[in-house]
Structure 1
């Protein structure tokens, strides 16, 4: 009898421990219809950002505004890390455009025209009017001050081509075919992981999210392994995390989920 009680207690503790480590999502009632080539994300006022053709759109409940410059080519990426200074990057013309929250241009950085010309494959928002950029001439990540047109941090060159950047204000992840590199703003390599099956990458609230084999995974700052986000449909084209809410875009619909994160 005592052995049976101990076995039941052990199983209960094991299930509780597993539950506390699991990452899962609970669907909310809200579903939004959206026809977009690329869903970018949302801001604190629930405005939607997306790309159709060569234009970036911002859609609120009562109106939709847009930014486009056909001369710059196709939009390669849009970074909403700072909604007051949105970074729109055009790899085709080696140019980054910084927009305000009404999608009016603040400034643009033409890397073809600056001193010490560089070819850039990716550009993301950093802090203090700076950009994380990947310099394909030197095969390295750089922290670029676009107000003064200068590099403020040098990083060690990489053997691999950057496939994608994901960043917050102070750190940046560089995805390559074989590895995933994590750097801080001072040029130090913090972590190096195998890239595995990562297809897309993003950083939100110091958490790294990725789509792998049509499933969403998450990695916290303190862990070296990925955890699958349970209870989500497969086939998501894009995702965005804001204030604990996960926005999943698939089949011209945005479904919103509440994330349950590990307790430790």
Structure 2
């Protein structure tokens, strides 16, 4: 190999290395917009009416300024899952008793469903609000995704059995998203159509924004990933003020960082 060819090869190798490093280290700088103290074990996020939701000592709370609503049910054990998509029908799930509660906007109980008493055996390991008076259900007994009509008390399976265990899941009205133990990312619509969305980055916690974007935490750092980016290695770090934090949530371009005593809200515009 000539010296000229060797120099060109070395140039392209170094350029490629710098390009890869740059792709991994893009920065997003969100703007802090509010900051306040909080007394909670878990901060759950906000609704479109400006109420915040939290859990303290297994008491579920809805708060806006001096307005406070609370709900507790000591007979069902600890709250396992909360779905806030519909503030008029909030979903609380208690896995110790395989039971879901629906609450109204003042946290009064609308209905209680014990899936262990259902005519079709159901053991719930994933749940969320769907459309047309239905709940998303992942039934551990058959490893399938289904929909449960809570007015008719009817359950229907819509997917084939999943081949890998669910590591993380998230729902909206029309879609059940999940990431399996191998970090493969999928979606299922209300008709049972399953779509492979790609491979998720390794994460400690993750929040899906849409079928091609997500925010994830690894250690004490936050990152943004867009799987449609032409450079599959592109991961953008979200630079926040907190050196450590307990949790985060994202909704409508607001990133909320939760520590043991306070919440900081950032305005964030993802690429």
TM over 0.5: yes
What is aligned with 1:51? 55
Runs (4+) of structure 1 exceeding 6 A deviation are none
Q: 1:205 to 1:53 in 2, by over 3 A?
A: same
Structure 1 residue 132 and structure 2 residue 132: aligned?
no
What is aligned with 2:15? none
| Residue segments in structure 2 that go unaligned for 5+ positions in a row | 1-21
Q: 1:201 to 1:137 in 2, by over 3 A?
A: same
1:138-189 deviations in Å (ceiling 9; x for gaps): 1122222222222345112112332332011111112332133222121111
Separation in structure 1 between the aligned mates of residue 243 and residue 196 of structure 2, nearest angstrom: 29
- For 2:75, what is the secondary structure of its paired residue? helix
What is aligned with 1:210? 216
Separation in structure 2 between the aligned mates of residue 175 and residue 226 of structure 1, nearest angstrom: 20
Let me know the Cα RMSD of the aligned residues.
Answer: 2.6
Pick the aligned partner of 2:46 from 42, 59, 64.
42
Structure 1 residue 114 and structure 2 residue 123: aligned?
no
Pick the aligned partner of 1:198 from 197, 203, 207.
203
Native 8 Å contact 2:120 2:155 kept in 1: no
What is aligned with 1:189? 194
- For 1:198, what is the secondary structure of its paired residue? coil
1:1-264 equivalent positions in 2, closer than 5 A: 24-178=28-182, 179-204=184-209, 207-220=213-226, 222=228, 227-232=235-240, 233-262=242-271
- For 1:71, what is the secondary structure of its paired residue? helix
| Residue segments in structure 1 that go unaligned for 5+ positions in a row | 1-17
TM-score by length of 2: 0.80
